[in-house]
Amino acid sequence: MLGFVAMSAVAGVLVTVSVTPVVALSGMAATNTISVFENLPDYIKIEPLSQKSDIFATRSDGTFELLASFYDQNRIEVGWDAISQFAKDAAVAGEDPRFYEHGGVDLQGTLRATATTVAGGNTQGGSSITQQYVKNVLVQKCAVLNDQSAHDACYTAATETTPDRKLKEMRLAIGVEKQYSKHDILQQYFNITGFGGTVYGIEAAANYYFNTAAANLTLPQAASLVAIVNNPVKFQLDKPASETNGAANGYAANKQRRDYILREMLRYKKITQGDYDAAVAAPVEPIITEPSTGCQTALANAFFCDYVTKILQTDPTFGADAATRMLNFRRGGYDVYTSLDLDVQNAAVTTMNEQVPKVYAGGDVGAVITSVQVGTGRVLAMTQNKDYSQDPAVQATGANYTGINYATDYSEGGSSGFQPGSTYKVFTLAEWLKEDHSLNERVDSRRKANWGTFQDSCLGPQNYDKQNWNPRNDANESGANYTALQSTIGSINTGFIGMAKKLDLCGIRKTAELFGVHRADGRPLSQTAASVIGTNEVAPLTMTVAFAGIANKGVTCSPIAIDRIVGPGDVEIPVPPSVCTQSVDSTVAAGMAYAMRRVMTSGTGRQSNVSTKPSVPMIGKTGTTDGAKDTWMSGASTKVATVVAVVSLTGTLSQRRQYFGRDQIATARHRMWPAVMSVVNAKYGGDAFEELAPKYIPPPVVVAPPTAKPVTPPVVPPPADPPAAPPADPPVDPPAAPPEVPAPGQ
């Protein structure tokens, strides 16, 4: 009696099943025959599936190296020819032997499964491959819902064991069969099906379980994967040893199901007896190969990878907000080809590992190297002396781990910035030349505690008479009237302060901003007299972009890290472009380059210049903050700009008083910068910088006696370096003037 009642409960389904194959095969509209179907769609469209996205870098030969993958579902969609015939035959023989005969619903299989279930046997599926595909499509529609309650309700409706749900599944399966070929359906079945955990699709399953491609699966491997589909929890191959499955008992559950599938393949003449005997004799031997997941798998390139993900989160192409964009990226199946040049990057990583330890007992030291291509803004290298992890538990295991990218702004996953010291003086030099001052013009550069009033067209005059601000020079130079060129070559603090007295502090700040300079923490740049010698905290990448702008005849191009994005179906996705701005006139840039070239040949940057081979014309500027807490070497050829910074992350230490092994910490920048630029120069070359405009080094005026005829003044070379030239190590910048107190780098 109970069996009769149960059969009655599914009678509507069975009647439908008896009709639908005829409907599907005859091409009649099901809605004209079965009124219960009237509110259902005709079919489910085959749509793009959630699949992993990859980020790549470029090798020397132009090929691409995978940095990292991102996914909610580890899936790689493949075509018909990329799936092993063994897998196709195994699925049909094991799951739906009459797949090529029915019209979406296997009447015989459904009746058998229903009868067995009602009679008290084990619950039987009886679903055709097409029905399984429909169910998976409905489940996938639930997977993309961000609201948990909506997701749960959707999933229940797609999977609950009820006649209504089964009826809907059958109806949709018939519609799919009318719309698509058997090959299309089977191909999409293999791409959508779950193979346990986050592994979806035959290609990802072949990669993960057997370290091979779906096209190269052997007969026993194919049968083992198809076995998983029947019950992923029971039959998957990466579970720990257990009574039901696992390496300890030869994955007995999977092998039992695999061998059943092999018998069915033999029964339906898909394989020979010899094939069958060899396959069942083969042990189940998975080769679990974990996929690249997240930036931590990019190892030394992880911080650049992290920077790329931050860019993707700000790109409206991927959604309305950062969270949605990243979610869409993880599901979209995008290939992101980045600007990272592995030749330059590997040089940066190698010298970083050789010169700066990840953890230093004498203090909390960080170091960063960035390189940017001149004229394009493409970021070629980005590395630091730490291991990457965003997991607090991992970070707690050692000071070598951090999730902070020292190269970038706070909003891009970086720190609140570091003081660049004398490196920042180049913007005062730019403003000096913009205002038509010459390089051999002298200024009052005596050290004193009463610098008087500085002009500021934005905030009003700034008075330093009573501030007790007495900045010194690195070698205590006391020259009273250095030229602008001498101040640049020797990085004379008081010389630049004297230059600023003749300029507008607001103008200096605006010129820096024209080169893309901004504080890493997002606050406005300070424009005090102290800021002239480098108290604003900035990101190293920001300084690299600025130096690339100087080398590019005054045209600054915003940084970009992505060259191309290719979506599913090889569709090109627009990428955020570099925006190039004329920061200063090319004649001003040429004047800056001339002075900064002298820094490299006879000034504080000479140590980096002489160590770079092959040699091409290069500009540069060193920087050291108060107490030698942070040291910088920033420079460029006409092709690539590179910045090296060694900084105190917390606390203070004197880099001139402490050592990495036998080498002074303060000179580490002069060992790393040449190592990177030597590779850069060999690969990219470099041209001469533009000639200096005569107005920036005017000849001296010769006053003739009153009775003599006018004398044409001779052309003389630029003034020599200051008599008390400082050592190659750059000068120490003074502390900021009150009330401005530089914050420590983080």
For 40-73, how does the pLDDT look when each residue is reduced to its tens digit (9 = 90+)? 455 576 666 778 899 999 998 989 999 999 887 8
- pLDDT band (50, 70, 90) for residue 716: very low
CA within 13 Å, CB half, 678: 16
Residues 6 or more apart whose Cβ sits within 8 Å of residue 320: none
pLDDT per position as a tens digit, 265-324 = 999 999 999 999 999 999 999 999 887 778 999 999 999 999 999 999 888 877 888 888
pLDDT at 698 over 60: yes
Sign of the four-CA dihedral 640, 683, 669, 689: negative
Q: So what's the pLDDT on residue 269?
A: 96
Q: Model confidence at 250, in pLDDT bands (50, 70, 90)? A: confident
Return the pLDDT at 2. Answer: 43
State pLDDT tens for residues 586-605.
999 999 999 999 999 999 99
> 26-30, 305-309, 489-493, 656-660: which has the minimum mean pLDDT?
26-30
Q: Which residues of 534-545 are buried (b: 16+ CB within 10 A; e: fewer)?
A: bbbbbbbbbbbb
pLDDT for 147 equals 73
CA distance 494 to 444: 8
> Does the pLDDT at position 708 exceed 90?
no
- H/E run at residue 557: strand 555-557
Q: Kindly tell me if the per-residue pLDDT of 138 is higher than 70.
A: yes
Average of per-residue pLDDT across 198-225: 96
What is the pLDDT, as a whole number, of residue 83? 98
Residue 110: which pLDDT band, with cuts at 50, 70 and 90?
Answer: low
Residues 544-556, mean pLDDT to the nearest whole number:
98
The span from the CA of 110 to the CA of 169, in Å, is 13
Cα–chain center distance at 565: 13
Query: Tokens 């905030």 correspond to what residue?
Result: 459
Domains of the chain in sequence order: 2-39+71-281 (1.10.3810.10), 47-70+294-746 (3.40.710.10)
Backbone phi and psi for residue 659, each to the nearest 5 degrees, phi listed first: -135, 145
- Whether 112 has a pLDDT exceeding 80, the answer reads no
Please state, for a pLDDT cut of 70, what percent of the chain lies above it: 83
Please say whether the beta carbons of 170 and 104 come within 8 A: yes
Q: Is the pLDDT of residue 702 over 60?
A: no
Among 671, 680, 683, residue whose Cα is nearest residue 351: 671
Is the predicted pLDDT of residue 715 greater than 50, yes or no?
no
- For residue 495, pLDDT beyond 80: yes
Residue 111 has pLDDT above 70, yes or no: no
Distance CA 518, CA 516 (A): 6
pLDDT of residue 733: 39
SS3 of 573-615: ECCCCCCEEECCCHHHHHHHHHHHHHHHHHCCCHHHHHCCCCC
Give the pLDDT confidence score for residue 731 in this predicted structure. Answer: 38
Worst-scoring range by mean pLDDT, 154-163, 280-289, 355-364, 560-569?
154-163
What does the mean pLDDT of the chain come to? Answer: 85
pLDDT computed for residue 131 by the predictor:
93
pLDDT at 720 over 70: no
Residue 738 has pLDDT above 50, yes or no: no
pLDDT at 117 over 60: no
Mean pLDDT over 1-9 rounds to: 44
